[in-house]
């Protein structure tokens, strides 16, 4: 059998970051090949190169022995016969299944769309895949499992010989997952090559032949799944020693005063979450994407609705209608995961971005005094060493790390003493990362209490006094700092083990 995909010395740079380093490996024709690694290991970047999303890279990609270089995803699908099924399937909900599958390449008759042929062709594919929906159905009526099938059907419509599945089961039920696996096995029998990205290790053992592991943009190894144990796999994925990245110089000493307590908190994406946060501690929340950590914190902060459960802040239960303004007044701050859409105000200068949550401090009578907001911003610019050193600059034009420092300044300007950091170092370079860790430790020294949501194990393990591990909307395990042993164990709890 030949090689379906061959990567040779792939390098990829983003401004200031070397994201893929000399990646070389190959995927056999007709195998199910897993691509594994932590968040940020470079799996998505590599798939994006393969599927023409990133046309600029160094190195060589061969499909079935022929060198290719796709300029866009469409070219990859049509000319390369290679399709990607996204984590969040891209579906135009108002169109029919048939229209979605043939979108852009509809069968024509005399210049008009030949719907009879479209539906006939599509229904044949759907029947082949054993789907319980028809080409004529409106896409909006499908479940997420059916939409996944729709995406696979689209790949087959384009006669793809290679299909990538990126976290295909992330939003599927157990039954839908089984149906998907049946399809994967059938495709394999028909000679289609599958590249499979998933965090759920048991799936890898169920359906994959081989697995390639990536870490920090590097190729680590390709393993024969049948000859590998789960522990070996996890160890290869996590690899490095934890303490080298983030570390606590002064771990919290006493943990007696409870500043925040959640009891049986329930919302759309989480259920029965109970925990306590102590004064002066850093409480880590680890879990995979979609574990419900962000949603839990947003509910506590009043950004989303709570469906049940109680929250006590400084011993006082929150009652009545709860919103972010009240949360701020009660002393809670939240530094969101996505700086661009949730963090800074797009059209505002650094001064205004820092001042927005603490305007009552800069008043002169009934009016906001611009001198005071400026003085406040200048103070933090100096303390945090923000570049370029221009408080009038628009925050959106700063680099990720500096933007994060601006948002940190915003919350340090308030009186909030409970601060939730959601992925605080996402998209932040190494130097700024270290500074943010130092600032967090300073905040704890001052008696503030922090919650850190992170998908980076070294980060949570390095920083936290305690770690709570969430999995699929509930708390699966809690560790005290002296119980932190191996990252393998943590990852195990995050993927549902116990």
Partner 1 sequence: MKQLFDKYKREFIVLLATIAMCAIFTIMNANFLRWSNFLTILQQMVLNSILAVGMMFAIITGGIDLSIGCTFAITGIVVASITVGGGNPFIAILAGLIVGALLGAFNGFLVNNLKLQPFIATLGTMSLYRGIAYVVTGGQPVTNVPDSYRNIFNGKMFAGIRYYIIVMIIVFVIAYIILQKTRTGAYLYAVGGNEEAAKLSGVNTVKTKYIAYIICGVCASIAGLVMLASLGSAESTAGTGYETNAIAAAAIGGTRMAGGRGTPFGTFIGGLMLAVLKVGMVVINVDSFWQYVVTGIIIIVASYFEFIQQDVQAFLARRKQG
User: Which CB, 90 or 363, lies closer to partner 1?
Assistant: 363
Task: Choose which of 346, 389, 445, 446 interacts with partner 1 (CB under 8 A).
Answer: 346
Stretch that binds partner 1, among 44-52, 127-135, 254-262, 356-364 (CB under 8 A): 356-364
**Alpha-carbon distances, residue 114 vs 107, 124, 159 (angstroms):** 6, 16, 19
Does the footprint of partner 1 cover residue 429 (CB under 8 A)?
no
Q: How far is the CB of 428 from partner 1 (least distance, A)?
A: 17
> Which residues, numbered 272-301, are part of the site for partner 1 (CB under 8 A)?
301
Count of CA atoms in the C-beta half-sphere (13 A) of 171: 13
Does the footprint of partner 1 cover residue 441 (CB under 8 A)?
no
Q: Is 342 exposed, middle or buried (0-12, 13-18, 19+ CB in 10 A)?
A: middle
Distance CA 6, CA 60 (A): 8
Q: How far is the CB of 340 from partner 1 (least distance, A)?
A: 9
Task: Choose which of 352, 456, 459, 492 interacts with partner 1 (CB under 8 A).
Answer: 352
Does the footprint of partner 1 cover residue 347 (CB under 8 A)?
yes
Does the footprint of partner 1 cover residue 344 (CB under 8 A)?
yes
User: Which CB, 42 or 331, lies closer to partner 1?
Assistant: 331
User: Which CB, 154 or 410, lies closer to partner 1?
Assistant: 410
Does the footprint of partner 1 cover residue 78 (CB under 8 A)?
no
Spatial strand order of the sheet with 162-166 comes to 66-68, 58-63, 3-14, 17-28, 218-224, 210-215, 32-36, 193-197, 162-166, 82-85
Task: Choose which of 348, 378, 426, 488 interacts with partner 1 (CB under 8 A).
Answer: 348
Does the footprint of partner 1 cover residue 46 (CB under 8 A)?
no
Does the footprint of partner 1 cover residue 388 (CB under 8 A)?
yes
- Contact of 456 with 428, CB cutoff 8 Å: no
**Alpha-carbon distances, residue 102 vs 78, 106, 152 (angstroms):** 12, 5, 12
Does the footprint of partner 1 cover residue 389 (CB under 8 A)?
no
User: Which CB, 141 or 397, lies closer to partner 1?
Assistant: 397
The torsion angle over the Cα atoms of residues 69, 73, 76 and 78, rounded to 10 degrees, is -140
Does the footprint of partner 1 cover residue 375 (CB under 8 A)?
no
- Contact of 393 with 349, CB cutoff 8 Å: yes
Distance CA 44, CA 12 (A): 12
User: Which CB, 116 or 347, lies closer to partner 1?
Assistant: 347
Instruction: Count how many residues are written for the chain.
Output: 498
Stretch that binds partner 1, among 75-83, 144-152, 231-239, 387-395 (CB under 8 A): 387-395
Q: How far is the CB of 385 from partner 1 (least distance, A)?
A: 16
Count of CA atoms in the C-beta half-sphere (13 A) of 334: 25
Q: How far is the CB of 355 from partner 1 (least distance, A)?
A: 7
Distance CA 251, CA 98 (A): 59
Pattern 302-341, partner 1, x by CB under 8 A: -x-------------------xxx-xxx---xx-x----x
CB atoms within 10 A of CB 386: 27
Distance CA 432, CA 424 (A): 11
User: Which CB, 206 or 342, lies closer to partner 1?
Assistant: 342
Peptide bond preceding 126 in cis form (omega within 30 of 0): no
Task: Choose which of 112, 366, 431, 498 interacts with partner 1 (CB under 8 A).
Answer: 366
Count of CA atoms in the C-beta half-sphere (13 A) of 324: 11
Q: How far is the CB of 417 from partner 1 (least distance, A)?
A: 14
Q: How far is the CB of 298 from partner 1 (least distance, A)?
A: 8
Does the footprint of partner 1 cover residue 360 (CB under 8 A)?
yes
Distance CA 44, CA 19 (A): 11
Helix axes 144-157, 115-128, angle to 10 degrees: 110
> Which residues, numbered 111-150, are part of the site for partner 1 (CB under 8 A)?
none
Q: How far is the CB of 320 from partner 1 (least distance, A)?
A: 14
User: Which CB, 27 or 450, lies closer to partner 1?
Assistant: 450
Q: Is 2 exposed, middle or buried (0-12, 13-18, 19+ CB in 10 A)?
A: exposed
Q: How far is the CB of 310 from partner 1 (least distance, A)?
A: 22
User: Which CB, 414 or 455, lies closer to partner 1?
Assistant: 414
DSSP 33-59: EEEE--TTSSHHHHHHHHTTS----EE
Q: How far is the CB of 353 from partner 1 (least distance, A)?
A: 9
Distance CA 231, CA 498 (A): 14
Per CB under 8 A, residues contacting partner 1 are 301, 303, 323-325, 327-329, 333-334, 336, 341-348, 352, 355-357, 359-360, 363, 366-368, 388, 393-394, 397, 410, 414
């Amino acid at each position: 059998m030949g090689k379906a995909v061959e990567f040779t010395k792939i390098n990829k740079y983003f401004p200031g970051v070397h994201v893929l380093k000399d990646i070389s490996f190959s995927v056999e024709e007709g195998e199910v090949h897993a691509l594994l690694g932590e968040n940020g290991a470079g799996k998505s970047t590599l798939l994006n190169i393969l599927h023409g999303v990133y046309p600029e890279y160094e190195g060589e990609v061969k499909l079935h022995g022929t060198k290719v270089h796709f300029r866009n995803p469409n070219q990859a699908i049509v000319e390369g016969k290679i399709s990607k099924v996204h984590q969040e399937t891209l579906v135009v909900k108002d169109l029919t299944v048939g229209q979605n599958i043939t979108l852009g390449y509809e069968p024509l008759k005399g210049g008009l769309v030949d719907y009879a042929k479209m539906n006939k062709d599509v229904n044949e594919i759907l029947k082949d895949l054993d789907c319980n929906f028809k080409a004529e159905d409106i896409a909006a009526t499908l479940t997420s499992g059916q939409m996944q099938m729709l995406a696979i059907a689209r790949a087959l419509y384009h006669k793809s010989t290679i299909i990538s599945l990126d976290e295909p089961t992330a939003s599927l039920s157990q039954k839908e997952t089984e149906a998907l696996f049946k399809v994967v096995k059938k495709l394999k029998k028909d000679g289609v090559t599958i590249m499979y990205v998933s965090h759920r290790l048991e799936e890898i053992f169920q359906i994959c032949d081989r697995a390639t592991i990536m870490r920090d943009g590097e190729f680590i190894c390709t393993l024969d799944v049948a000859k590998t144990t789960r522990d070996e796999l996890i160890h290869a994925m996590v690899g490095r020693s934890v303490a080298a990245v983030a570390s606590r110089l002064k771990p919290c000493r006493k943990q007696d005063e409870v500043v925040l307590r959640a009891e049986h908190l329930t919302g759309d994406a989480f259920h029965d979450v109970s925990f306590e946060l102590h004064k002066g501690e850093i409480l880590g929340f680890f879990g995979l994407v979609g574990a419900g950590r962000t949603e839990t914190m947003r509910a506590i902060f009043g950004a989303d609705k709570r469906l049940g459960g109680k929250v006590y802040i400084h011993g006082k239960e929150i009652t009545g209608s709860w919103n972010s303004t009240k949360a701020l007044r009660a002393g809670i701050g939240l530094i969101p995961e996505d700086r661009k859409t949730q963090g800074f105000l797009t059209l505002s200068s650094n001064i205004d971005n820092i001042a927005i949550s603490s305007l009552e401090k800069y008043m002169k009578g009934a009016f906001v005094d611009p001198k005071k907001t400026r003085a406040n911003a200048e103070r933090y610019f100096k303390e945090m060493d923000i570049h370029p050193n221009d408080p009038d600059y628009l925050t959106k034009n700063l680099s990720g790390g500096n933007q994060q420092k601006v948002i940190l300044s915003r919350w340090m300007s308030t009186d909030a003493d409970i601060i939730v950091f959601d992925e605080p170092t996402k998209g932040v370079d190494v130097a700024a990362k270290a500074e943010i860790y130092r600032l967090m430790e300073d905040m704890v020294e001052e008696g503030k209490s922090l919650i850190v949501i992170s998908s980076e194990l070294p980060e949570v393990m390095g920083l936290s006094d305690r770690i709570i591990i969430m999995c699929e909307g509930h708390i699966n395990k809690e560790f005290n700092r002296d119980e932190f042993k191996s990252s393998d164990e943590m990852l195990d709890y995050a993927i549902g083990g116990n």
